[in-house]
Amino acid sequence: MENGRLLLLPPIVVNAVLFYLFARSLQPGHEALITGFHRYIHHSVSPPAALYTHRLTVLWVLFFGLSLCLLVTFTRISDPSDAPWVLSLGLPAAAIVFFVGEHCFRARFRRHYGVVPLWRTLNELRHPAAWQMPSRDAPVPRQ
């Protein structure tokens, strides 16, 4: 593998891990990862919020899966000197736009699901307990 292509390895690994974490949470008997985040932040999840956060988890799985496919394809067919800036800036920027855009959408159109400031969401997601994947019926511990 050329040195330029080695620069693509970290984004591939990061996207693969995120794809795995989000997709694994969609297995039967598990709570969707974003539903767990919602439960961690709000202490409960209404049925409509559970459906919304489950669908949002599916969208993130699609996002990370597509990103992973683009990275692997780019690695295989492109000039490695073109890749780092496109992938180092483009895909993380798209993820940030998606995250902030969804947060704004929810604040505007889904207020009844519970809205917290963006800074609080980011602060809560720093805690390892927010990333635990209990079964659908297990309570989520708070630190």
Question: How does DSSP classify residue 30?
Answer: B
Give the C-alpha separation, 119 to 109, whole Å.
Answer: 19
β-pair partners for 30: 135
pLDDT (0 to 100) of residue 109: 84
pLDDT (0 to 100) of residue 20: 95
Sign of CA dihedral 62, 66, 71, 72: positive
Please answer whether residues 49 and 113 qualify as being in contact, where contact means their C-beta atoms are separated by less than 8 angstroms: yes
| CA dist list (Å): 67 to 10, 83, 88, 112 | 13, 13, 12, 31
pLDDT (0 to 100) of residue 73: 83
Output the tens digit of pLDDT for each of the chain's 143 residues.
466 667 778 888 999 999 999 999 999 989 999 999 998 888 889 999 999 999 999 999 999 999 999 888 877 776 666 656 667 678 889 999 999 999 888 888 877 777 788 888 888 888 888 887 655 555 444 43
